[in-house]
Amino acid sequence: MHEMFEVRWHGRGGQGVVTASRILAIAAFNEGFAGVQSIPWIGAERRGAQIEAYNRISRTPILLHSQVYSPDAVVVVDPSMITRNNNVVIRGLKKSGFLIINTAGTKVIPSIRVPEECLVYVVDATSICLELGLQAAGLYVLAMPMLGAFAKATGLISLKGLRKAVESSFESVLVEKNMKAIEKAYYSTLKVHITPEQYIPPVPPSRPERIPEFRHWTDLPPVPVSTPSKGSIGKTGDWRTHMPVIDKEKCTKCLFCWMYCPEAAVNVNEEGFPEIDYDYCKGCGVCFNECPRKAIRMVVDEKK
């Protein structure tokens, strides 16, 4: 195992992806891993919408908190995602990583493409859920059996660790049904043969690799609510009634304005000073309120 093992889940809202990710983190902790994370990415927040979830598992505490961009393992709860866009699902998957797919047959296997030396495993999680009636609010919880498939493929966690995690997550009446699904998947997961033609160069992650070492908080990427982009009725700066103006005589280049801007409309020039992108700044005044040196003032936008 690498120093830190990273997992990315692909599924749909209502399939139990977030719950399975959380249970995996608890199980890993039960196995003695000191650093575990479970991070959901829900997106549209509605049932049926594509969602992702992430896990990090390490023998030492984890200081990194972000989405997983270069996973060691990808778990595909809904097989339609990989058949429709293979590269989106395997993006960033490491060479010699694991691809674990919920599929009833082997028809989809010839269309799968993975980086060199990757191992591909399949399990019919859908049939397991149908057989056991494992559903919640009318939808089958396909992600639960995938925990058993993950344990079988990677050998990272045991059924004993998963049972302990399930027992701490559900009422007693649901524990046995979920564990039966996990155990059935564990014993029915199969490794499939991949032909040389199915191996491709690694697909780059959706975002640049993380900065390996943080020396200052400004090394961290900003996490805006939205990013500058032209809307259906023009640039978002057109909405503004007041505009922030930076006084460089007072500015100490602390970049609090850059960090707090919810729209990522503050850039940093070559001299290290913040600059407002007036094309997209909505004039919310967050930078004005957060500036510790009072180097920003809000003035009426005379273009209005």
Over the stretch 152-207, which tens digit does the pLDDT of each residue have?
A: 999 999 999 999 999 999 888 889 999 999 999 999 999 999 899 999 988 888 76
pLDDT at 16: 92
Q: Are strands 266-268 and 242-246 parallel, antiparallel or unpaired?
A: unpaired
What is the pLDDT, as a whole number, of residue 251? Answer: 94
State the Cα–Cα distance between residues 89 and 81, nearest whole angstrom.
7
pLDDT at 89 over 80: yes
Residue 299, strand partner residues? 243
Most confident option among 62-71, 140-149, 194-203: 140-149
Q: Is the pLDDT of residue 35 over 80?
A: yes
Helices (H) then strands (E): counts for the chain: 9, 15
What is the phi/psi pair of residue 117, to 5°? Answer: 70, 5
